[in-house]
Structure 1
Amino acid sequence: MRLDDEVESQNVEDRRGGGMRVGGGIGIGTIVIALAASYFFGINPLTIINGAQVLQGNAPQANAPTNARPADDAGSHFVRRVLGNTERTWQHIFRTQFNQDYPAPKLVLFSDATPTACGTGQSAMGPFYCPPDSTVYIDLSFYRELRDRFGASGDFAQAYVIAHEVGHHIQKVLGISDKYEAARARMSQARGNALSVRLELQADCFAGVWAAVAQQMNAKLMEPGDFEQGLNAAGAIGDDRLQRQSQGRVVPEAFTHGTSEQRQRWLRRGMTSGDIRQCDTFSAQSL
Structure 2
Amino acid sequence: MTFQDGGSFEGGRVRTRRGGRGVAIGGGLGGLIVLIGALFFNVDLSPIADGLGGDTGGEQTEEYVAECSAEQANAARDCRLSATARALDTYWSDALAPLGVAYTQPGVVSFEQATDTACGSATSATGPFYCPPDQTVYVDLGFFDDLRTRFGASGGPLAEEYVIAHEFGHHIEQLTGLLTAADRSGTGPTSDSVRIELTADCFAGMWTGHAATTVDPATGVPFLAPITAAELADALSAASAVGDDRIQESATGTVDPESWTHGSSEQRQRWFSAGYDGASVQECNALEAATL
TM-score by length of 2: 0.83
Output one character per residue of 1:19-51: Cα deviation in whole Å (capped at 9) or x when no partner.
6255xx443243234456669xx9855421123
- The one of 266, 282, 285 aligned to 1:261: 266
1:78 matches 2:80: yes
- Contact 1:60 1:115 (C-alpha < 8 Å) held by counterparts: no
- Contact 1:19 1:65 (C-alpha < 8 Å) held by counterparts: no
Alignment of 1:169-180 (within 5 A): 169-180=171-182
Partner of 2:59: 63
- Contact 2:242 2:265 (C-alpha < 8 Å) held by counterparts: yes
- What residue identity is the alignment partner of 2:260? F
Partner of 1:222: 226
Q: 1:14 to 1:69 in 2, by over 3 A?
A: same
Partner of 1:146: 147
- The one of 192, 204, 209 aligned to 1:207: 204
- Contact 2:198 2:271 (C-alpha < 8 Å) held by counterparts: yes
The more displaced of 276-285 and 107-116 is: 276-285
- What residue identity is the alignment partner of 2:147? L
1:32 matches 2:29: no
Partner of 2:14: 12
Partner of 1:215, secondary structure, is coil
Output one character per residue of 1:150-187: Cα deviation in whole Å (capped at 9) or x when no partner.
2331111110000000000000011111121xx345xx
- The one of 69, 87, 91 aligned to 1:89: 91
Q: 1:71 to 1:86 in 2, by over 3 A?
A: closer
Query: Using the alignment, how far apart are the partners of 1:161 and 1:37 within structure 2?
Result: 16
Output one character per residue of 1:203-256: Cα deviation in whole Å (capped at 9) or x when no partner.
000001111222333385233122222111111111111111111110000111
Partner of 2:289: 284
Q: Which has the higher helix share?
A: 1
Partner of 2:219: none
- What residue identity is the alignment partner of 1:276? V
Q: 1:244 to 1:66 in 2, by over 3 A?
A: closer
Query: Using the alignment, how far apart are the partners of 2:135 and 2:141 within structure 1?
Result: 19
Cα distance, 1:282 vs. partner? 1.1
TM-score by length of 1: 0.84
Unmatched tracts of structure 1, length 5 or more: none
- What residue identity is the alignment partner of 1:159? E
Aligned Cα root-mean-square deviation (Å) = 2.8
- Contact 2:118 2:131 (C-alpha < 8 Å) held by counterparts: yes
1:49 matches 2:49: yes
Partner of 1:109, secondary structure, is strand
The percent identity for this pair of structures is 37
Unmatched tracts of structure 2, length 5 or more: 215-221
- Contact 2:20 2:113 (C-alpha < 8 Å) held by counterparts: no
- The one of 123, 137, 157 aligned to 2:159: 157
- The one of 234, 240, 243 aligned to 1:235: 240
Cα distance, 1:113 vs. partner? 0.6
